[in-house]
Amino acid sequence: MAQAVTPKRTRLRAEERREKILEAARKVFLENGFAGARTRRIAEEAGITEALLYRFFPSKSDIFRAAVHEPLERFVEELLATTQDIDPAEGDRRDRLRQVNEMLLQFMADSAPFLVVVLLSELSEARRFYQSDLHPTLSRPIYEVVSKITGWRQRDGSLIFAAMFGTHLGLAIDAMLRGRDVDAPRVADQLTRLFSDGMPEEVQAAPVSFRRVRKGA
């Protein structure tokens, strides 16, 4: 009687192992939040030792940044690729803005659970992630794409970015907390109609201003 052949165990390539760790990390972060997630639990979920995990990522913050930052970079690449051939003098400006609204809204709907984990939990980590990863990655591309489509100009682009980012993330979080799915095409069309009147020149010329929070307040 022939003996059953035991299948050989194949070693994952470094890129595959890294992605497996990130998939496990996303699950653990969603279940426990940033503060409650433990690297040991992430390693267990990925089927590796904690020592091996640290060969890929030196800290929990680094794991989280990779788990969320890499999708940000892929979104920016897709956004720029989709809009690179836009000629503001040709085509339907409203339709192009609707397309950008739809892409950004769908991205935020997919990313909201992970963004909420860090942005609405631990303030120090939220600031670090927003200032070091999220804002530098998204702000300039979103401003340039919207400005290219609409002709809107602003000295530092802060208002255009804040309006786009805040509106789309807010809608995504609202849907998530209500237990609903975002109908990205329909809502994008509604947003485009809402924004279609454009930005007054006096607003274009002024950056967004914030009052500094007083210590101890």
Please check whether residue 73 is in contact with residue 111, taking contact to mean a CB–CB distance below 8 angstroms: no
What is the H or E stretch that residue 74 is in? helix 60-83
Q: Please indicate, yes or no, whether residues 26 and 85 belong to a single structural domain of this protein.
A: no
Task: Give the model confidence (pLDDT) of 150-166 as tens digits.
Answer: 888 888 888 889 999 99
Please check whether residue 119 is in contact with residue 126, taking contact to mean a CB–CB distance below 8 angstroms: yes
Indicate the residue among 6, 34, 58 that finishes a domain.
58
79, pLDDT greater than 80: yes
Decide if 84 is inside a domain. yes
Q: Tokens in use for 47?
A: 């089927």
Please check whether residue 118 is in contact with residue 68, taking contact to mean a CB–CB distance below 8 angstroms: yes
Where is average pLDDT lowest: 82-86, 106-110, 135-139? 82-86
Specify the CATH number for the domain of residue 34.
Answer: 1.10.10.60
Q: Please indicate, yes or no, whether residues 46 and 116 belong to a single structural domain of this protein.
A: no
Q: Tokens in use for 157?
A: 């682009």
The one-letter amino acid at 72: L
Q: How many domains does the chain have?
A: 2
Q: Please indicate, yes or no, whether residues 75 and 170 belong to a single structural domain of this protein.
A: yes
Decide if 176 is inside a domain. yes
Task: Give the model confidence (pLDDT) of 95-123 as tens digits.
Answer: 888 989 999 999 999 989 888 888 887 78
Domain coverage including residue 53: 14-58
Tell me how far apart the alpha carbons of residues 205 and 207 are, in angstroms, rounded to a whole number: 7
Decide if 4 is inside a domain. no
The one-letter amino acid at 157: G
